Amino acid sequence: MNFRRHGQREEPEINFIPLIDLLLVILIFLMVTTTYSRFSELQVNLPQAEGKSNEQKNSPLRVEVSRQGEYRVNGLAPSAPGVAGLSELLKTQAAGKSQPVVIINADAAATHQSVVTVMEAARFAGLSQLTFATQTGPK
């Protein structure tokens, strides 16, 4: 049963205006909530400390690390490169001292690996007390 009379049929059409409105709202929402971050090089500032230094009963072992990765223990260079030579020099400098403190004076531009090498050599030499030298910053 066809209740319609022979009239014109309406053609269905898609209304794009609400679709465009919805897309604009989603776009604005994404633009507002998105955070844009730039990946940059890690900036590390070496620590600065103030305070009185502890008085040592034994003279400490001062290990200097240059920016080129050269080592000196109380002004003496190790005979062999690497951890083995530095460890032997630390052992000879620590002979006769009870629990000496190793003070690491590393240049600000020295690599992290250079400092880790000093720590590893101190471990091989049986020295467990390590400290890092810092400088006071401008006030």
Q: Where are the domains of the chain?
A: 61-132
Residue type, 71: Y
Q: Does residue 76 sit in helix, strand or coil?
A: strand
Q: How confident is the model at residue 38 (pLDDT cuts 50, 70, 90)?
A: low
Q: Give pLDDT tens digits for 49-97.
A: 676 655 545 688 999 998 888 899 988 889 888 899 999 999 999 888 8
Sheet holding 130-132: strands in order across?
71-73, 61-65, 102-106, 130-132
Tell me: pLDDT of 42 over 60: no
- Minimum mean pLDDT among 1-10, 13-22, 123-132: which range? 1-10
CATH 3.30.420.270 fits 61-132, yes or no: yes
CA within 13 Å, CB half, 3? 0
Q: How far is CA 117 from CA 33, 67, 83, 93, 121, in A?
A: 46, 14, 6, 17, 6
